[in-house]
A and B are shown apart, each in its own frame.
Chain A
Amino acid sequence: DSGVTQTPKHLITATGQRVTLRCSPRSEDLSVYWYQQSLDQGLQFLIHYYNGEERAKGNILERFSAQQFPDLHSELNLSSLELGDSALYFCASSPSTLTGELFFGEGSRLTVL
């Protein structure tokens, strides 16, 4: 158990819809990262928050947005969903921005039909 909690674990929705994925980092961690893993692909970095502030953006679509709240939990919002958005979405946390050693949640599997 990494200490990072993601909900929901599975989500099935239709094209055009909007969903919110939630992440609770380890209690001591200020950094939250979101990654997308599509079929047979590596993890693609989406966005990084540190103590409530956005610090870096990766290959995140404009239809996607995220935020980190004062209690440090984070939400990833995906809107106008397309079939290609079907993927595993991982949240990871770390105590520092200076380490690549991340603690990952179990992921949220999104299926868009």
Chain B
Amino acid sequence: DQQVKQNSPSLSVQEGRISILNCDYTNSMFDYFLWYKKYPAEGPTFLISISSIKDKNEDGRFTVFLNKSAKHLSLHIVPSQPGDSAVYFCAASPVQGAQKLVFGQGTRLTINP
């Protein structure tokens, strides 16, 4: 049972345009959501997070949107840059902390020059 799903295994976007990565979850107890980015041969690195009391959190070019009624979150990257090419994982947890963190399968983002 996959509680966190990233239905697009890959996404290709033109440099300078907006990249939108999507994530759906099934557990209504999830209250805390994060995005991680992973380059080849490296471990994932934390990107941005949001708690359920908010519907949007922004950090520079990265914005995460949360729609609790739809159990959906998305990561917007604008403008997209070649260095954003990576695999992006969304993760969710019913509590703050990593003990119950559930990861999606990842979406491979490719930014084309």
Contact = CB atoms under 8 A, between A and B. Distances in A.
Given A100-B32, A100-B34, A90 B49 contact: no
B97 A97 contact: yes
Majority secondary structure, B binding face: loop
Interface residues of A, number: 29
Majority secondary structure, A binding face: loop
Interface residues of B, number: 25
A41 B6 CA distance: 11
A90 B43 contact: yes
A83 to B, nearest CB: 21
B11 interface: no
B43 A105 contact: yes
Closest 4 CB pairs of A and B: A104-B43, A42-B103, A43-B103, A56-B99
Interface of B: 4, 9, 32, 34, 41-46, 49, 89, 91, 93, 96-106
